[in-house]
Structure 1
Amino acid sequence: MPILNSIASWLMKKRMHQIELFMKYPVDVQMEWMYSLIRDASNTHYGISNNFSEIENYEQFKSTVPLNDYESLKSLIERTRRGEQNLLWHSEIKWFAKSSGTTDKSKFLPVSQESLDGCHYNAGRDMITLQCNNNPETQLFTGKNLALGGSLKEDQFGDYNSFHGDVSAIIIQNLPMWAEFFRAPEVDIALMDEWESKLEKIAVSMMNENVVSLAGVPSWMLVLLKRILHKKNVSTINEVWPNLEVYFHGGVSFTPYKDQFLKIFDNSKINFMQLYNASEGFFGIQDQLKSEDMLLMLDYGIFYEFLDIKDLSSLDSHKKVINLDLVKIGVDYSMIITTNAGLWRYQLGDVIRFTSTNPYRFVISGRTKQHINVFGEELMVHNTEAAIAAACEKTHAMVKDYTVAPVFMKNNSGAHEWLIEFEKDPNNFDFFVSILDENLKKQNSDYEAKRYNDFVLHFPHVKKMPENSFYRWLKANNKMGGQYKVPRLSNDRKILEEILQLNNEK
């Protein structure tokens, strides 16, 4: 195994030359991908309908191809699921990633072989490449990577069969042999549908293995790790897997969970590497150990565009979309993607903010549909995450989960109601809430203005929730799985009231 580790590490590091090339020539690489995607799909139904063969530059692409969301592409995606091909993409598509976001509507995003090979598998390789580059003494190839994945289901439409499930499950089902050799647990366990039974089987099968890396959503990974600690009757993961060296995480902000992982790992040598992967594609990887922003991966068969979120509701918003060349540091952008699976100028719903343009690094700052703007406060997830982190630091608390919704009062005023489940209670709850409010003001000038003298927005209402309150809501709503997450911010009280009701019924 040491020889294998040395050879594999050397091969992975060779990829760094290609990464350095797109870091040096980012716009050139992106424009090459735009032309390549248009050329490959020029004879598809969508390409013919939108005159792909006549597009010669970005301005023509921007003016010819409309901005899309899931609803505008849904009919073509559904026809593809039922066996029609060459509609959005030129190669056969039979895999569909079921979106596991925070809304009630399921989305089925196409996954082509090109996106599996060129995007998802390349991203898996690059995760390892960057870990090897940052850690010359890595031993990643001497053990197993434990990955929390979802499940798959087969759909039969007459004589045609297609498949849908979590994108992680689609990746596991189709992994190349070299990647499968290092992955765990076994496929029949990894793709189990019933989540609680799956966690139990993973814990039993992996607690005595040599695990060197972990990959999965933080909230569910914590559930698994705590189960393993209980079974092994130990207090830290270092006692279970002494060779564990990196945790690849994504799906939700890591900020509320980081202190819990530091405590449960109790090993300063373990690296945390953030990923930006979604049902639609894989977009970013943390490439520096001392900075949590991510490198925008520019050669995965995805063409990126951006729209300042301040222009989202503008009547001429389509004219204000820009390509990578024009983005600015510190602006919140809605991300628009064109992919090698047939998503054309697709509004992803994610909001990012660039921290650097040489190379292009960014942080995820929220969701276009997950914020609170009932009273003009324009509160976004990155504001609440930073405020919680500050309050936890001051009161030695650990937050497990939370959600926020508006409270409506008389005279057009209101407040924000917070439901928070603590892993570790603050040493002074009232002080925690006060620090939370003060840091929200620091993070967001609109919130600060609305809080002035309680004229529009009153002091936040914060409820401390019993253990597993959010877990019960996920279970009751059939959202048990590695990619499901609790909505952080809502403009209505539906989710918050459901959580409160479940807690009252307990």
Structure 2
Amino acid sequence: MGLINSILTWVMKKRIHQMELFMKYPHEVQDEIFKKLIQTARTTEFGIQYDFSSIQTYDQFRSRVPIHTYEKLFPSIERLMRGEQNILWPTEIKWFSKSSGTTNARSKFIPVSQEALEDCHFKGGKDLISLYVNNYPDTTLFDGKGLAVGGSHQINDFDPSASSYYGDVSAVIMQNLPQWAQFIRTPSLETALMGNWEEKIEKMARETARDNVTNIAGVPTWTILLIQKVVELEGKNNILEVWPNLEAFFHGAVSFAPYRALFKALIPSDKMRYWEIYNASEGFFGIQDQRDSEELLLMLDYGVFYEFVPIAELEKEDPRAVPLSEVELNTNYAMVISTNAGLWRYNIGDTIKFTSLAPYRIKISGRTKHYINAFGEELIVENAETAISRACDLTGAIIENFTAGPIYLAHGKKGGHEWLVEFKVKPSSMEEFTRLLDKTLREINSDYDAKRAHNLALIEPVVHSVEEGTFYNWMRSRGKLGGQNKVPRLSNSREYIEDILRMMAEV
């Protein structure tokens, strides 16, 4: 273990004690965050509108300030992008995280304050390493470099005179990293922030192939493309022949379960470690804190105040949220945040479930707008990913990507679900794959099972195996390669299914 590695691992482990404090006193920490946010923003335009100066309790805040969607906050964000200040947050906002999300095709621009960068995004990155080092004290992570598969940024062309910038959250973070962090990462900043994704993958592969890469951070789908490109260019069988000291992949944005087998093929080592994070354009929220766990520790001291709305409440005109102290295990909640960048009671569109209340650990269950409920089956992303992973495991299949949508009722025909699946390795039998997919969904979702009983409302799923490259080409046709863009897993309409089928027919 090198000297730099020894020093940095020691520094990172010092943070563990602070984490233990918020794990032991979660409600007190969240109450302190709440009061600080309200006090700091009391003289902003938003704070004056809702009279933050007179808010003393959470109940007052909850009753006075409505839950906001992006659409509700956009007029204020638009003014910030034009250069106005002190609207949502008192300090200068000159960075915006651009996110297409997975709820609609229109880009979202999330304000990023200096406080959010330092106390949330940067802190989350450091805590990720701290927790990893705490679990693996023998790590040699810092003897090499970390490879970040990120996005790009540009000057705000919404209003060039505003002197502000926007880009994928990964690009915003990379551009603002301290010098010491730039020293231990690869590729060069110029390459990492390139806008053309296809050119960027090629250049990243050539630039990083000669580095001693010990860890990778990124979205599984785009990381796979990079690894495959490096292996191809170097003429090797797997990535360990290029990066023999690779020991960790820090991943987020989508469930890792459907990709585990593909990563195993690309990185054939039992010593490879996979570590999950929950970060988004709006903030850094959760980090895996235990070995071989699918739970994420909810990070409570990042300048983010959390609220949670039971999914059933979302249908109401004025949904009622609950604070951390009132959440229950295994209930599907929409997550609502107030942040040190001026997002107030903001519904970020993700759904989570608590798996532990002491400390607070969560699992991401899906998106508030990504589900199939055309027949009362209430199929969520978590169900889909569990079922497709099990079907793959039992049929020897390895997938690249998938999406699903409803088959609507028609005269003389029953409804169902249609799945488009891109396989890296096809299943031993498509019929068996479909049967196992359906069987698992029935086992884990009672509403789906009820609708499937005797083919009452739903017939067995229709599963299409699509050609390799289909989802990549589809995302490229939509201008959504790389960065934070993700293939939408489920849709309650046939929009995505029809778009992909139409593209395939035109080839």
- What TM-score results when the alignment is normalised by the length of structure 1? 0.98
Q: 1:259 aligns with which of 252, 261, 265?
A: 261
Residues 308-457 of structure 1 aligned to structure 2 (within 5 Å): 308-317=310-319, 320-410=320-410, 413-457=414-458
Aligned to 1:62: 62
Deviations 1:260-314 (A, max 9, x none): 1112111111110001011111100111112111000111100000011011112
What SS does the aligned partner of 2:14 have? helix
How far apart are 1:394 and its partner, in Å? 1.1
Name whichever of 65-74 and 330-339 sits farther off: 65-74
RMSD of aligned residue pairs (Cα, Å): 1.1
Structure 1 residues 84 and 429: CA distance shift in structure 2, 3 A: same
Deviations 1:329-367 (A, max 9, x none): 110000000000000000111000010011111100010
Partners of 2:297 and 2:156 in 1: CA distance? 36
2:152–2:483 CA contact under 8 A, matched in 1 = no
What SS does the aligned partner of 1:410 have? coil
What SS does the aligned partner of 1:235 have? coil
2:99–2:485 CA contact under 8 A, matched in 1 = no
Partners of 1:180 and 1:125 in 2: CA distance? 13
Aligned to 1:472: 473
Aligned to 1:147: 148
Deviations 1:356-405 (A, max 9, x none): 01111110001010000111110000001111111111111111111111
1:152–1:193 CA contact under 8 A, matched in 2 = yes
Residues 297-312 of structure 1 aligned to structure 2 (within 5 Å): 297-312=299-314
How far apart are 1:244 and its partner, in Å? 1.1
Runs of 4+ in structure 1 deviating by more than 6 angstroms, as ranges, are: none
How far apart are 1:245 and its partner, in Å? 1.2
What SS does the aligned partner of 1:312 have? helix
Instruction: Give the letter for the 1:145 counterpart.
Output: G
Residues 48-127 of structure 1 aligned to structure 2 (within 5 Å): 48-102=48-102, 103-127=104-128
How far apart are 1:140 and its partner, in Å? 1.3
How far apart are 1:62 and its partner, in Å? 0.8
How far apart are 1:503 and its partner, in Å? 1.2
Instruction: Give the letter for the 1:282 counterpart.
Output: F
How far apart are 1:6 and its partner, in Å? 0.9
What SS does the aligned partner of 1:79 have? helix
2:68–2:346 CA contact under 8 A, matched in 1 = yes
Partners of 1:209 and 1:410 in 2: CA distance? 57
Partners of 1:160 and 1:460 in 2: CA distance? 51
Partners of 1:480 and 1:315 in 2: CA distance? 36
What SS does the aligned partner of 1:85 have? coil
Partners of 1:264 and 1:330 in 2: CA distance? 34
2:398–2:423 CA contact under 8 A, matched in 1 = yes
Name whichever of 274-283 and 97-106 sits farther off: 97-106
Instruction: Give the letter for the 2:133 counterpart.
Output: C
2:250–2:277 CA contact under 8 A, matched in 1 = yes
Deviations 1:189-214 (A, max 9, x none): 00000000000000001111100110
Task: Report how many aligned residue pairs link the two structures.
Answer: 504
Aligned to 2:464: 463
Partners of 1:227 and 1:96 in 2: CA distance? 31
What SS does the aligned partner of 1:159 have? helix
Partners of 1:421 and 1:339 in 2: CA distance? 38
2:152–2:168 CA contact under 8 A, matched in 1 = yes
Partners of 1:461 and 1:170 in 2: CA distance? 41
Partners of 1:159 and 1:240 in 2: CA distance? 46
Residues 195-210 of structure 1 aligned to structure 2 (within 5 Å): 195-210=197-212
1:375–1:413 CA contact under 8 A, matched in 2 = no
2:387–2:441 CA contact under 8 A, matched in 1 = yes
How far apart are 1:408 and its partner, in Å? 1.5
1:373–1:379 CA contact under 8 A, matched in 2 = yes
Instruction: Give the letter for the 1:263 counterpart.
Output: A
Task: Tell me whether 1:235 sits opposite 2:205 in the alignment.
Answer: no
2:100–2:106 CA contact under 8 A, matched in 1 = no
Task: Tell me whether 1:488 sits opposite 2:486 in the alignment.
Answer: no
Gaps of 5+ in 1: none
Instruction: Give the letter for the 1:485 counterpart.
Output: K
Partners of 1:159 and 1:331 in 2: CA distance? 47
Partners of 2:396 and 2:156 in 1: CA distance? 49
Instruction: Give the letter for the 1:67 counterpart.
Output: I
Residues 260-299 of structure 1 aligned to structure 2 (within 5 Å): 260-299=262-301
Instruction: Give the letter for the 2:265 counterpart.
Output: K
Aligned to 2:39: 39
Structure 1 residues 158 and 410: CA distance shift in structure 2, 3 A: closer
1:420–1:463 CA contact under 8 A, matched in 2 = yes
How far apart are 1:160 and its partner, in Å? 2.2
Partners of 2:477 and 2:254 in 1: CA distance? 20
Partners of 2:97 and 2:38 in 1: CA distance? 23
How far apart are 1:436 and its partner, in Å? 0.5
Partners of 1:158 and 1:20 in 2: CA distance? 45
Partners of 1:357 and 1:386 in 2: CA distance? 23
Name whichever of 226-235 and 325-334 sits farther off: 226-235
Structure 1 residues 77 and 315: CA distance shift in structure 2, 3 A: closer
1:42–1:52 CA contact under 8 A, matched in 2 = yes
Partners of 1:191 and 1:315 in 2: CA distance? 41
Instruction: Give the letter for the 1:230 counterpart.
Output: E
Partners of 1:409 and 1:155 in 2: CA distance? 46
- What TM-score results when the alignment is normalised by the length of structure 2? 0.98
How far apart are 1:315 and its partner, in Å? 3.7
Partners of 2:172 and 2:294 in 1: CA distance? 28
Partners of 1:409 and 1:49 in 2: CA distance? 48
Sequence identity, in percent? 51
Name whichever of 336-345 and 150-159 sits farther off: 150-159
How far apart are 1:316 and its partner, in Å? 4.2
What SS does the aligned partner of 1:256 have? helix
Aligned to 2:191: 189
Instruction: Give the letter for the 2:21 counterpart.
Output: L
Partners of 2:308 and 2:101 in 1: CA distance? 21
Partners of 1:159 and 1:234 in 2: CA distance? 49
1:276–1:284 CA contact under 8 A, matched in 2 = yes
Instruction: Give the letter for the 1:229 counterpart.
Output: V
Instruction: Give the letter for the 2:202 counterpart.
Output: E
Task: Tell me whether 1:500 sits opposite 2:501 in the alignment.
Answer: yes
Instruction: Give the letter for the 1:85 counterpart.
Output: Q
Deviations 1:152-178 (A, max 9, x none): 111253632211110110001110112
1:166–1:483 CA contact under 8 A, matched in 2 = yes
Aligned to 1:172: 174
Partners of 1:434 and 1:220 in 2: CA distance? 30
